[in-house]
């Protein structure tokens, strides 16, 4: 049996919570990917299987076809799970050089807790994607 692809996000982050709520109904096929909190036991177990440089990164992760991606590479690849009017942006976003994409990602990641309030509870299990 093949395991579904997984998007690991910070369960204590308001931006991640809002992003998951936005993404869920816009998926091409429901249940094509599951959302999982990084802080969960299963999330931590998955992260320990990643290469060392991935394990030490405080980032969003996408496991697509068994391969992990992080930061902007994970976000851009996630477009491929979305309906056509979102996934059509994948080639355009991909041509932006990785150092520029990750620089922008790190700026957003640094200030996300200041801009977005921490959710009362982690909503990822409640998305019915797991």
Question: Which residue ranges make up each domain of the chain?
Answer: 5-127
Q: What six digits make up the tokens of 67?
A: 């391969």
Q: What is the pLDDT of residue 125?
A: 56
Range list of H helices, the chain: 14-23, 41-47, 52-55, 71-78, 84-87, 90-94, 98-115
Q: What is the pLDDT of residue 104?
A: 95
Q: What is the pLDDT of residue 91?
A: 95
Exposure on the CB side of residue 65, measured as CA atoms within 13 A: 4
Q: Consecutive 10-residue runs of the chain (130 residues): their mean pLDDT?
A: 78 86 88 86 89 85 93 95 94 96 93 85 56
């Amino acid at each position: 049996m093949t395991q579904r692809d997984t998007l690991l996000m910070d369960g204590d982050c308001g931006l991640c919570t809002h992003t998951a709520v936005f993404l869920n109904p816009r998926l091409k096929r429901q249940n094509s990917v599951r959302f999982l909190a990084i802080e969960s036991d299963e999330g931590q177990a998955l992260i320990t299987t990643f290469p060392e440089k991935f394990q030490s990164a405080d980032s969003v992760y996408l496991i697509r076809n068994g391969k992990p991606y992080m930061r902007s590479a994970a976000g851009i690849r996630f477009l491929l799970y979305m309906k056509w009017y979102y996934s059509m942006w994948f080639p355009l976003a991909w041509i932006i050089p990785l150092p520029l994409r990750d620089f922008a990602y790190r700026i957003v990641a640094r200030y996300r807790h200041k801009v977005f309030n921490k959710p009362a509870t982690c909503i990822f299990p409640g998305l019915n994607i797991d």
